[in-house]
Amino acid sequence: MPDALKKLVLIDGNSLLYRGFFAMRALTTSAGQHTNAIYSFTMMLLTLLQDQKPDVIICAWDTGKTFRHDEYAEYKGTRKTTPPELTEQAPLARELVQAFRIPTVTAPGFEADDIIGTLAKQGEETGYEVVIVSGDLDALQLVTPHVRVMTTVKGVT
């Protein structure tokens, strides 16, 4: 039997945080800090680490407007504004990922899924089994015999 491939897990941080926010009812601390997104994100991250046992794990984050916004002014123009209760939890999610010593990757002008697509290809080419974790179904176009996608579903999974 051939040796098992090492496992590379790629997380779309923004996507998981967004899904976590809408998966749970509003939670706040006694000081009024919203915590539902970070709580859900934490639970998904812990489950992922326990179930997947990755050799390498990387979290990619969006950085804002991308080259697509420059080329097409209406790119994502129909999207609703991100609720401030979610926006205020994003720095906490990034701190959490750092506390877990998970490397993070950002690239100005690119979305997390662009980064993940590049890393998935590089991982596969260097002999990894790649697992992409995202709520964005566009990631399914990256599936190959050695790249699979885990998507979030309704609720916290």
Name the domain count of the chain. 1
Across the range 9-18, mean pLDDT stands at 96
Containing structural domain, residue 108 = 6-151
Q: What is the mean pLDDT of the chain?
A: 88
146 lies in a domain?
Answer: yes
96 lies in a domain?
Answer: yes
> Confidence band (pLDDT; 50, 70, 90) for 2?
low
- Cβ-based neighbours of 46, under 8 Å, separated by 6 or more: none
Q: Count CB neighbours of 21 within 10 A.
A: 23
- Provide the CATH number for the domain around residue 135: 3.40.50.1010
Backbone angles phi, psi at 60, to 5 degrees: -100, 145
1 lies in a domain?
Answer: no
User: pTM of the predicted model, to two decimals?
Assistant: 0.86
Q: In this predicted structure, what is the pLDDT of residue 73?
A: 58
Across the range 141-152, mean pLDDT stands at 95
69 lies in a domain?
Answer: yes
CA distance 41 to 128: 25
112 lies in a domain?
Answer: yes
CA distance 74 to 103: 32
Residues 42-69 have pLDDT tens digits of 999 999 999 999 999 999 999 866 545 4
157 lies in a domain?
Answer: no
